Every structure is written in structure tokens, then in C-alpha cells.
Chain A
């Protein structure tokens, strides 16, 4: 009798990885559309920055306190949609602010296209080469902590040049996290598609938000 155990296990592992990847990209596409729709709602009803900030805090509360409790159940999907919807509401006033610039629609369209190109390019690279970028995790996390500290300082110092550096750094770090998160999915390091979706969504959201700032600062 032939020993096919390792082959069967390898096939099962590959199938499982493909399933996580497929579910992640499906949910990511749906949540991005939902988030864009909620940003549209925020603009349509002219929600102010106070509502935007409240929505942001609500989204943070969901991801830190609620998602970890429901990430292995079907209720987790509703939490992910609520989280991405709130972030859509939160970014709506910012997008509306840039749309009021003389070339605002061009800035927003370029930020959207640029974000899409960065995400698709980096994802395609990892999916094609199947390289493991898990070694970048610590470096990226420490880099993100440094950026967070700089953001706290700049909330009070209001230095425009520092904000440019912070935005550029966030785009680079989130790009690194796209490599890290995608390689974790395809190498079996991430088996929960809800967590994977939230991670990739946050990467895209942060790149778009900061790209919008960098592209709009010339007219500000």
C-alpha cells in the first residue's frame, strides 16, 4: 500500500489556503464597495468632522473589543461590514474636503487609482512569486509605532513638513504590510479570512487617506 499521507495533507493545506485567499478577496471587494457607499452617504448628508471622528472611534472600538470575540463565527462578517462602513463614514468628510478643491475630482481619482495600483501590484508580486515576507513583521510594527508617536506629537505641534513625512512613512509601512499580510495568507500563517480582510482593508484605507493628503497638499 502506497503512503500518500504527506501528499494528501499538502493538497488539503493548499486547498485551505486557496479558500482563505478567495474568501478574503471576495469579502475585501464587498467591504470596499460598502465603505465607498458609506463615504458617499457621509458626503450626501454633509456629515461634519464630529460625526466622522465618532465613526472612527466606533470603528476602532469594534476592531479592538468586538471582532476578537466573534472572529470565528458568522457574526464576525456583520462586525467587519460595520467596521468598514464606519470607516467609510469617517473618511467621507475628508474626501468631500478635497473634492471642493479646484482640481479636487482629479486628486481623489488619482488617489483612488494610485491606491489600487499599489495594492494590485504588490499583491500580484506576492501571489506570483509566493515569497515569504513574514520577516518584515517586526520592522513594520516598530516603524508603525514610531509613526504613531510622531502623529501624537504633530497633533499639538502642527508642523506641515512633519505631516508630509508621516504620510509618506504610513504609505511605505502599509505597503510593507500588504506584502506581509498577503504572504501570511498564501503561506498558511493566516487562516481566518475575517482577520485577513480587516488587515488588508486597513492597509488600503491608510494608503488612500495619506495619498489623498500628499496629492492635495499642493493646493492646500
Chain B
């Protein structure tokens, strides 16, 4: 493995760890103080995401 191949995962890991450090406090804040959805709203949102999942599965099956 070349030197770039050795150092690249560590560089990327550092950037991703920085992402986690920046995002995590906001994420916790949003969970604690953000708007709460009703069960009907959650069902609606999750159905849309399930439709996306089914579409991706369909694309994988035809490619």
C-alpha cells in the first residue's frame, strides 16, 4: 500500500470525527427541544422513506 493509501483513512476518520463533534450537540438539542410529530405524521414520513427504499431496491434489481 502506498503512503497515501496508509494515511487517507486516518485523514477521513479525522474529518468524520469532526463532523460528529459538530453535529452531535445540535442533534441532541433537536431531539430534546424540537417539534414532536404525531403518530400519523411519523407514519406518513416513514412510509415515504420506505417508498424510497423500495425504489432503490428496484433500481438495484434492474441494474
CB-defined A-B contacts under 8 Å, sample of 10: A118-B52, A125-B48, A132-B35, A133-B45, A138-B31, A141-B26, A145-B27, A152-B13, A152-B17, A211-B56
Q: Which of A16-24, A39-47, A76-84, A169-177 contacts B (4 or more CB under 8 A)?
A: A169-177
- Are B22 and A53 touching (Cβ within 8 A)? no
Once bound together, how far apart are the Cα atoms of A156 and B48, in whole Å? 33
Number of interface residues of B (CB under 8 A): 38
Asked if A114 CB lies within 8 Å of chain B CBs, one says yes
Top 7 closest pairs, chain A to chain B, by CB = A135-B37, A141-B27, A138-B30, A138-B31, A155-B9, A175-B52, A138-B34
Q: Which one of B8, B16, B49 contacts A148 once the chains associate, using CB atoms below 8 Å?
A: B16
Chain A interface mostly: helix
**How far does the Cβ of A210 sit from chain B's closest Cβ, in whole Å?**
9
Residue ranges of A at the interface with B (Cβ–Cβ < 8 Å): 49-50, 53, 56-57, 60, 64, 103, 106-107, 110, 114, 117-118, 122, 125, 131-139, 141-142, 144-145, 148-149, 151-152, 155-156, 168, 171-172, 175-176, 179, 211, 214-215, 218
Name which of B19, B41, B42 has the most chain A CB atoms within 10 A of its CB.
Answer: B19
